[in-house]
Amino acid sequence: MNNTVITEEQFDERFTMLENHFYNNPNDCSFNGSLYETYGEERDYVNEAVNNPMKRKHLWTIVESDDGDKLFYQSGFHMVNRIGFFFTTEEVTEEHLTVIIDVTPDN
């Protein structure tokens, strides 16, 4: 499997996160209103996207590293260490794309 890795800045230049349509106010939802939870009706919506060849090209999983000190966006649906999901306007054309997120610890 080919895995392409890009930076958060490259992601921001190339992709636009869609707002989670289950919320009326983007401030009620993490990741600037884009996060879909891993349970309930939001997870059901993600599952529908996984089974839809067109929608799954826009699906991403937010994943935490094993030691918990880094976050990644991984294209597609992933179960291990997932925090949640989001969709982008633009589809992913690579087989597998990982975005390294610059997370600054709280002081």
Percent of the chain at pLDDT exceeding 70: 93
Domain assignment present for 42: yes
In total, how many domains does the chain have? 1
Domain assignment present for 54: yes
Confidence (pLDDT) at 78: 94
Residue scoring higher pLDDT (89 or 27): 89
Average pLDDT, the chain: 89
Domain assignment present for 50: yes
Task: Encode pLDDT of 1-22 as tens digits.
Answer: 578 999 999 999 999 999 999 9
Domain assignment present for 107: no
Strand partners, 5: 98
Percent of the chain at pLDDT exceeding 90: 70
- Gap between the terminal Cα atoms of the chain: 38
Structural domain containing residue 20: 4-101
Domain assignment present for 106: no
Confidence (pLDDT) at 88: 97
Q: What is the pTM of this model?
A: 0.88
Residue scoring higher pLDDT (14 or 69): 14
Q: What is the SS3 string spanning the chain?
A: CCCEEEEHHHHHHHCCECCCCCCCCHHHCHHHHCCECCCHHHHHHHHHHHCCCCHHHHEEEEEECCCCCCEEEEECCCCCCEEEEEEECCCCCCCCEEEEECCCCCC
Domain assignment present for 18: yes
Confidence (pLDDT) at 86: 97
Read off the pLDDT band of 107 (50, 70, 90).
very low
Domain assignment present for 81: yes
> How far is it, in rounded angstroms, from Cα 101 to Cα 99?
6
Whether the CB-CB separation of 58 and 90 falls below 8 Å is answered with: yes
